[in-house]
Amino acid sequence: MVQVKGLKCRECGRPYPAEPLHVCEFCFGPLEVDYDYDALRGTLTRKAIEAGPPSIWRYKALLPIEGEPVVGKHCGMTPLVRANNLARALGMREVYVKNDTVSHPTFSFKDRVVAVAVTKAVEFGFKVVACASTGNLANSVAAHAAEGGLRSFVFVPADLEQGKILGTLIYNPKLVAVDGNYDEVNRLCSEIADKYGWAFVNINIRPYYAEGSKTFGYEIAEQLGWRAPHHIVVPAAGGSLVTKILKGLKEFDRLGLLNGGCATRMHVAQAAGCGPIVTAIKANSEIIKPVKPKTIAKSLAIGNPADGYYAYKVVKESGGHGEHATDEEIVEGMKLLASTEGIFSETAGGVTIAAAKRLIEQGRIPRDESLVLCITGNGLKTQEAVASSLKVRLHIKPTLRAFDDAMVSHGIDVTSRTMD
C-alpha cells in the first residue's frame, strides 16, 4: 500500500519522477516526496497502524519505499516519557520527553532518516552510500551500510567529538576528516556526489531521507492516544526535523487519524553560537543569514541550514517561536534532564531543555498546556561537554565510620527521603 506519486518542487510545484533527484531544474527549489493521500484515506487506519511492527515501518504506507525495508527493521517506537519531575522543575502541568537517546542502532533520531534513505538507495541500485555529517548521521550511515552490505564513505569536520568518531569507525566505513566546519564539508560532498555518483543520503537522496523524520511526529501522536500536543520544542541544525514532525502530524490529521485535529505550535531551539534560524524568527525575517558556528553543541553546528527557510515558515505559520541557549545553559539543560528524568542526552538535548525553559518563562508556552520536548541523541556521544562540570563529591576509606563522617562533613542527611 505505497502511494508515492513521485517528487515535486517545494517552490513551484513542478512534478518529477521518483528518482535520485533533489533540486528542481526549473527554479532550483528543493524536491520532496508527493503522496496520493486520497488513495490512503480510509485504507490507512489506526487499527492497521497498531497491527504493524513496533518500529518506524508501521507507518510504511507514508514512507517512500516500494518494497520491504532492508535495514533499520528495529528503528523507532522510542519512549514518549511523561516527565512529571521535569514538569515540576519547569513549572509546567504536562510535559513529555520523546526519547531518541535509545534509538536503535546508533542512539539518535538519525537512525529514522537513514533507515529510509539506505533502503531507498538499495532500491535505486546504489552500492555506495555516503554523507556529510556533524556526527550522528555518520554513526547511522556507517551502521546501516554495514547492515545492508554496502560500502560507505562518511565526511565529518576534523574537530568532531571523540565519541562520535569512535561510534562511526567501529562499523568500518571510509571516514574522511575534513579541515573545516560542516558547511565546508557539505560543499565538498556535493562535488564528490556529482563526480562519483554515490548515494549521498543528505544530498541526492535527501527527499527520501527527510521523510524518515515524519515518524518522530507519527509516534508522538500515536503515543499520546492519537492526539497532537499543544507545543513541541525541536532542536535545529539543518532545520528539516521541525518541518517533518509537523508534516507528519498534518498527514495524520488529513487522513482522519487524530482526535481533535492538529493545532500544534512548533518551536525551534538552537545554540547561541550557531542559531541562524532562531535569529531570523526573532527578527521576523525570512532571510536566514549564515553564521560561523562556535558552540559545544556540535551536532547543531550548521551555519547555513539547508531547510532554514522552511523551518522559519513552519514556526511562524504554527504560531510558535524560537530560542537560543548559551553553552552554559546547554550544560545545565543536560544536567536538569538527567537529574529529573534519568535521561542522559547529548548537547542538542541540553539546547532543547534550555530553550524550552526560556520559552516557558517568556509565556510563549503557557504552563497549563501540553508540551513535548524532542531529545534527539545520547549523552554518551558528547561526554566532553559536561565532564568538567561533574566531579566525584565523596572519596572515603572502606569503613562505615568514614562514610558517616563524610555525610556529616558534607551536610548530607541520610535519613531524608528527598534528593539533595
Residue 420 domain flag = no
Position 420 pLDDT exceeds 60: no
Q: Are residues 234 and 310 in the same domain?
A: yes
* Final residue before a domain boundary, out of 209, 244, 259: 209
**315-355 pLDDT tens trace:** 999 999 999 999 999 999 999 999 999 999 999 999 999 99
* Final residue before a domain boundary, out of 209, 234, 267: 209
Mean pLDDT of the chain: 96
What's the whole-model pTM score? 0.96
Backbone angles phi, psi at 111, to 5 degrees: -60, -30
Rounded Cα gap, residues 180 and 156, in angstroms: 9
Q: Which pLDDT band, with edges at 50, 70 and 90, does 42 fall under?
A: confident
Residue 164 domain flag = yes
Rounded Cα gap, residues 301 and 303, in angstroms: 6
Q: Are residues 222 and 202 in the same domain?
A: no
DSSP 169-205: HTT--EEEEESS-HHHHHHHHHHHHHHH--EETTTTT
**372-401 pLDDT tens trace:** 999 999 999 999 999 999 988 899 999 999
Residue 135 domain flag = yes
**139-192 pLDDT tens trace:** 999 999 999 999 999 999 999 999 999 999 999 999 999 999 999 999 999 999
Q: Are residues 218 and 350 in the same domain?
A: yes
Q: Are residues 286 and 320 in the same domain?
A: yes
Q: Are residues 40 and 138 in the same domain?
A: yes
Q: Which pLDDT band, with edges at 50, 70 and 90, does 1 fall under?
A: low
Q: Are residues 332 and 199 in the same domain?
A: no
* Final residue before a domain boundary, out of 209, 242, 270: 209
Per-residue buried b or exposed e for 366-398, using 16+ beta carbons within 10 Å of the residue's own CB: eeeebbbbbbbbbbebbeebbeeeeeeeeeeee
Residue 33 domain flag = yes
**149, 20, 123: which is closest to 65 by C-alpha?**
123
Q: Are residues 203 and 161 in the same domain?
A: yes
Q: How many domains does the chain have?
A: 2
Q: Are residues 237 and 185 in the same domain?
A: no
Q: Are residues 342 and 263 in the same domain?
A: yes
Position 419 pLDDT exceeds 60: no
**237-272 pLDDT tens trace:** 999 999 999 999 999 999 999 999 999 999 999 999
Residue 311 domain flag = yes
Which cell numbers in the block locate residue 54? 513496533
Q: Are residues 28 and 155 in the same domain?
A: yes
Residue 399 domain flag = no
Which cell numbers in the block locate residue 189? 560532498
Q: Are residues 301 and 279 in the same domain?
A: yes
Q: Are residues 330 and 187 in the same domain?
A: no
Share of the chain above pLDDT 70, in %: 99
Q: Under DSSP, is residue 32 helix (H, G, I), strand (E, B) or coil? A: strand
Q: Count, in order, helices (H) and strands (E) of the chain.
A: 16, 13
Q: What is the CATH number of the domain that holds 57?
A: 3.40.50.1100
Residue 397 domain flag = no
Residue 415 domain flag = no
Contacts by 89-94 with C-beta closer than 8 Å and gap 24+?
89/336, 89/340, 90/356, 90/357, 90/360, 91/360, 91/367, 92/360, 92/365, 92/367, 92/371, 93/367, 93/368, 93/369, 93/370, 94/369, 94/370, 94/371
Rounded Cα gap, residues 287 and 308, in angstroms: 9
Instruction: Say if residue 417 is exposed, middle or buried (CB neighbours under 10 Å; 0-12, 13-18, 19+).
Output: exposed
What is the span of the domain harbouring residue 292? 80-107+213-387
H or E segment and range at residue 102: none
